[in-house]
Structure 1
Amino acid sequence: MSDAYLELVNSGVTKTLAKKLGLPRPAHLRRTDPAAVDTPLIPGRAMVIGEGPDADAIARTLLGWDLDVHRNVPDGRIGAVVVVLTDLTRPEQASQRVLALGSVLRSLAPGGRVVTVSRAADPGDEPAVAAVRTGVDGLLRSIAKELRAGATGNGIVLGDQISPDAPSAVGALRFLLSARSAFVDGQFVHVNTADGVAPADWTRPLQGRVAVVTGAARGIGAEIARVLHRDGAQVLGVDVPAAGESLATVMNQVGGIALQLDITSGDAAARIIERATSRYGRIDIVVHNAGITRDKLLANMKPDHWDSVVAVNVEAQLRMNGAFLAADGLSPDGLRLVSLASTSGIAGNRGQTNYGFSKAAVIGMTRALAPRLADGAGTANAVAPGFIETEMTARIPALTRQVARRLNSLQQGGQPVDVAETIAFLASPQAGGINGEVLRVCGQNLVGQ
């Protein structure tokens, strides 16, 4: 569903009026255009703030992408600023770099990017080290709320032994700088290991991979299928028989296979495995997108409202994951599981006790699966969307919908493609060192963390 308010405040007389009245003025976000050729990674020059080997490594990475990289304040518009904080050991050491960032924010181009690179705090750290590393959390999230014109701020958090030029660190940096991360704001990507492989072609990192997408007939699921296909994957789309016509349409668009089944059935995983392996010989990616809502206040909740949501949103995934993990040689390169969580599972939502429970359960399941998959070079991660413009949110009363759209730093709802882009990144070879994480796609929604 389109956002008429966003269009009004970005054109003609209404744009001027909104500015004079001080009304929220969400910007058109910089998103990937599949039809565009040679679209630049960032909308201007790149600046690296920091000193030492890690800052040098990041500058070399950016230069390798043919960006115009500066270590001092450049003339003209800045498309991205990367602030390297990995070497800090005391809070007072942050001052110079943070204030240097502040001095150039007014030069940040519309749709620009700010990315911090820091180290993860550890319980064994000295108090001063833990203080400065944890301080980056509040710093980055605050910066993200100050940015305007569709610019975003996100962070990469490296484990102590992880180099900033490790494949997953590089992959995370490219994702956060690119238009693919348009609705990811105020978030941190944790790189836990040095695993991962840089793709031969950054525009088609999933070439040769086989992906299963549940709930693929419409909305977010259909967009996931399209983006995975765009990135090179073969797609097996799964949905209930009632959605068969829509599923066939989407699969025809992406040259994929349509499989009609109810994922709560006991043989769902076996049927998926049989169909995918008989056609493609493997399964590399599973995206658990299928989910339902049955919203009621808890005082009015009937058993079937609760049980059906838990059955589809959690129990089905648990059974299928057990079967996928037990299948020998399913993916020679390591299975990538990506599950759809929700900000409702992080912060809760009135009238969604069942849904919030199920989505929080997905997060717990993902974190528990991560070490099990890591043994086979696989990963398990979750994506938690906020307000996304779908058929479901279009049914929200108009005034409530307008309020929900403005409750994030980007002051608008996200698009299904924003969720799909993040899933495609987590499923990619370069994300092999990112495991057990929950990445929010919410425009820095003002709920939870």
Structure 2
Amino acid sequence: MADRYQQFVNSFVGKQIAPKVGLPQPPFLKRHRPGAPVVAGPVVFGQAPGGLLAGDVGRVLALIGAETWTTEEGDLRAAVTDAGLAPKIWAPGAGGDQRFHGLVFDATGISSPAELAALHAFFQPLARRITGSGRVIVLGTTPELLEGSSRIAQRALEGFTRSFAKEIGAKGATAQLVYVAPGAGDRIESTLRFLLSAKSAFVDGQAIRISAGEKAELNWTEPLKGKVALVTGASRGIGEAIAETLARDGAHVVGLDIEPLAEDLQKVTERIGGSAITFDVTAEDAPKQLAAYLKKEHGGVDIVVHNAGITRDKLLANMKPEVWAQVISVNLEAPERITRELLDAKAINQGGRVIGVASIAGIAGNRGQTNYGASKAGVIGFVDALADEVAAQGITINAVAPGFIETKMTAAIPLGIREAGRRMSSLGQGGLPVDVAETIAWYASPGSGGVNGNTVRVCGQSLIGA
């Protein structure tokens, strides 16, 4: 559904009126277009003393062809030069009107609260030079792996990044924090590519953890070529966008939905060259049937996206037991049972990806959705519970938590509630189904082997549950 308010305040007349009466002006976000470069403009790379990732970041910036600037001579410049870059120098206090699409800062060397001043020294002179739909990435070390002052300082990076994201959101720019475990610097390429690109348009204010994992050489144009992806609830909405995006990246998509939606599902899978199957995921024998089908017809599965979900909203005082049970069964029990059977049957191939779809309702709660909120919080628990187990098998498990996404379902919400849902975020608007799909495609990439156990919100940094 079109966002008429956004269209108006960004029109010629709206631009004259909105500032005078204090109306918010949500920007138009730049999203991915086929053939577009990863990064849409110059990138400044800075580093706190003692940083560990200069060579790894420099290598990625060189591979994506980014015009790279650094803020100093010395060790940082030498490291990125060794990685294949010829960086320009930008000095704090420099004049001119130079603007930057990306600001990347290696904060892994910060080991005390006093050293957090390095964040201010790098970002303060650059804060007004970020372009529309720009990208900010702070790189840190996973706090749980540290002790003492280092752990305190690294945890402080989250508050900084989320706050800065709220300052730059009015121009459609985003800020993210990437915690990199020691020794996992060579696993950051997939994540940096995603976060610097227009594919991450509606991901904002997130903290992502990267651990050691398998390293893959791949074709970044079709990173999923030769892979088989199962997408449940694939007939429409977010599920349809997921199926289309994974197919774009080269996967053969097996779309799954219930029998009443078989015709819609068939249209989707025919359009993308995939396969369609109908199952009731809550049926007692569904996991075994699904595992057997995937092994027989496709030799197993590489990517499993648990997108199927339902809402049955009622105040708890008015909710019947069967309404509670239905939502828990579809949204939570089915993904757990299916994943367990696929693992036990060895139906998920080496390097597999399991991806759940949670919701900010599972993080913040929502009136009239005790069943839905419980189920979606359970999806996050499902990821936490299985992360270590599947990692031992060379598999990852992660989740997305969408916020307000423009679908037929949200179009049916009363106008006042719909407008509130759109505006209560740093980006001041609803997301699109493709925003969720792009995040899932990043998880699904063979290059994301170090991304495990994460739940990333796709919500434009919603103020709900922030």
Common fold, TM-score beyond 0.5? yes
1:65 Cα offset (Å): 1.5
Does residue 101 (structure 1) correspond to residue 123 (structure 2)? The answer is yes
Q: Is the 8 A contact 2:315 2:367 kept in 1?
A: yes
Cα distance in 2 for partners of 1:221, 1:279 equals 22
Aligned to 1:237: 255
Aligned to 1:423: 440
Does residue 317 (structure 1) correspond to residue 314 (structure 2)? The answer is no
Equivalent residue of 2:309, what SS?
A: coil
1:129 Cα offset (Å): 1.1
Aligned to 2:151: 130
Does residue 21 (structure 1) correspond to residue 38 (structure 2)? The answer is no
1:124 Cα offset (Å): 5.5
Which of the residues 148, 166, 170 maps onto 1:145? 166
The structure-2 alpha-carbon separation of the partners of 1:262 and 1:53, relative to structure 1 and needing over 3 Å to count, comes to closer
Does residue 436 (structure 1) correspond to residue 453 (structure 2)? The answer is yes
Q: Is the 8 A contact 2:52 2:106 kept in 1?
A: no
Cα distance in 2 for partners of 1:237, 1:56 equals 41
- The Cα offsets for residues 54-102 of structure 1, whole Å up to 9 and x where unpaired, read as 2243123202221110103286220100011001111221213423212
Q: What TM-score, normalized to structure 1?
A: 0.95
For structure 2, list consecutive stretches of 5 or more residues without a partner in the other structure.
72-89, 92-96
Aligned to 1:182: 201
Cα distance in 2 for partners of 1:86, 1:321 equals 35
For structure 1, list consecutive stretches of 5 or more residues without a partner in the other structure.
none
- The Cα offsets for residues 408-439 of structure 1, whole Å up to 9 and x where unpaired, read as 10000010000000011111111111111111
Cα distance in 2 for partners of 1:184, 1:349 equals 21
Equivalent residue of 1:334, what SS?
A: strand
Which of the residues 38, 46, 49 maps onto 2:46? 49
Cα distance in 1 for partners of 2:203, 2:174 equals 7
Aligned to 1:31: 31
Structure 1 segment 337-348 matched on structure 2, within 5 A: 337-348=354-365
Which of the residues 308, 314, 334 maps onto 1:290? 308
Equivalent residue of 1:284, what SS?
A: strand
Cα distance in 1 for partners of 2:37, 2:441 equals 20
Alignment length (residue pairs): 440
Cα distance in 1 for partners of 2:123, 2:40 equals 18
Cα distance in 2 for partners of 1:140, 1:30 equals 21
Q: Is the 8 A contact 2:52 2:109 kept in 1?
A: no
Equivalent residue of 2:356, what SS?
A: strand
Structure 1 segment 46-445 matched on structure 2, within 5 A: 46-50=43-47, 51=49, 52-72=51-71, 73=90, 76-122=98-144, 125-126=147-148, 128-147=149-168, 148-163=170-185, 166-167=186-187, 169-199=188-218, 201-328=219-346, 330-445=347-462
Deviates more, 1:188-197 or 1:136-145: 188-197
Question: Match of 1:23, as an amino acid?
Answer: L
- The Cα offsets for residues 314-350 of structure 1, whole Å up to 9 and x where unpaired, read as 111122112101113x344232110100111111111
1:448 Cα offset (Å): 2.4
The structure-2 alpha-carbon separation of the partners of 1:291 and 1:158, relative to structure 1 and needing over 3 Å to count, comes to same
Cα distance in 2 for partners of 1:409, 1:77 equals 21
The structure-2 alpha-carbon separation of the partners of 1:332 and 1:215, relative to structure 1 and needing over 3 Å to count, comes to closer
1:189 Cα offset (Å): 1.2
Q: Is the 8 A contact 1:171 1:198 kept in 2?
A: no
Q: What TM-score, normalized to structure 2?
A: 0.91
Cα distance in 1 for partners of 2:178, 2:422 equals 27
1:123 Cα offset (Å): 7.0
Cα distance in 1 for partners of 2:402, 2:388 equals 24
1:116 Cα offset (Å): 0.2
Root-mean-square deviation (CA, aligned residues, Å) is 1.5
Equivalent residue of 2:405, what SS?
A: coil
1:392 Cα offset (Å): 1.3
- The Cα offsets for residues 342-363 of structure 1, whole Å up to 9 and x where unpaired, read as 1111111111000001111111
1:373 Cα offset (Å): 1.0
Question: Match of 1:289, as an amino acid?
Answer: N
Cα distance in 2 for partners of 1:77, 1:406 equals 27
- The Cα offsets for residues 382-426 of structure 1, whole Å up to 9 and x where unpaired, read as 110011111111111001100110111000001000000001111
Question: Match of 1:61, as an amino acid?
Answer: V
Equivalent residue of 1:193, what SS?
A: coil
Identity of aligned residues (%): 44
Q: Is the 8 A contact 1:43 1:78 kept in 2?
A: no
Question: Match of 1:131, as an amino acid?
Answer: I
Q: Is the 8 A contact 1:43 1:111 kept in 2?
A: no
Equivalent residue of 1:335, what SS?
A: strand
Q: Is the 8 A contact 1:183 1:418 kept in 2?
A: yes
Equivalent residue of 2:177, what SS?
A: strand
Equivalent residue of 1:273, what SS?
A: helix
Cα distance in 2 for partners of 1:48, 1:349 equals 40
Question: Match of 2:178, as an amino acid?
Answer: I
Deviates more, 1:304-313 or 1:72-81: 72-81
Equivalent residue of 2:204, what SS?
A: coil
Cα distance in 2 for partners of 1:90, 1:123 equals 15
Q: Is the 8 A contact 2:180 2:209 kept in 1?
A: yes
Question: Match of 2:461, as an amino acid?
Answer: Q
Equivalent residue of 2:277, what SS?
A: strand
1:278 Cα offset (Å): 3.2
1:273 Cα offset (Å): 2.9
Q: Is the 8 A contact 2:110 2:150 kept in 1?
A: yes
